[in-house]
């Protein structure tokens, strides 16, 4: 499974009935609920990381990526746009990118 596969699955399930699909149910509840779930999963991943709970970190990371893709779907942002942003950063180090952002702020 790639993130692109998951993005396609989410797009497919978005059209399903909320009674039979968690994705459809979450999308029907709107961006505030989807964003709240994203925040919760991020927090759970952070807790797993700082408590060195490796198995939980793997599970929470999967939840986090899924909920991020749902939020991107609701907001109409294709994953390819996020990947293109990451791609554009490979030309420089993360520290140089951070300094450039500060200069532009």
CB-CB neighbours of 74 under 10 Å: 19
Tokens matching residue 43: 């927090």
Chain residues binding ligand PRT by CB under 6 A are: 9, 13, 21-24, 63, 66
The minimum distance between CB 29 and ligand PRT, in angstroms, equals 7
Closest among 44, 40, 35, 43 to 69, alpha carbons compared: 35
The minimum distance between CB 14 and ligand PRT, in angstroms, equals 8
CB-CB neighbours of 81 under 10 Å: 10
Nearer to ligand PRT, 28 or 99 (CB): 28
The minimum distance between CB 23 and ligand PRT, in angstroms, equals 3
């Amino acid at each position: 499974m790639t993130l692109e596969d998951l993005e396609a699955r989410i797009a497919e399930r978005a059209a399903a009935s909320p009674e039979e699909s968690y994705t459809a149910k979450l999308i029907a509840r709107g961006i505030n609920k989807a964003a709240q779930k994203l925040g919760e999963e991020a927090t759970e991943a952070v807790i797993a990381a700082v408590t060195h709970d490796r198995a939980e970190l793997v599970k929470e990371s999967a939840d986090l990526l899924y909920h991020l893709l749902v939020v991107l779907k609701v907001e109409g942002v294709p994953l390819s746009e996020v990947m293109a942003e990451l791609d554009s950063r490979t030309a420089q180090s993360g520290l140089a990118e951070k300094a450039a952002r500060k200069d532009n702020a």
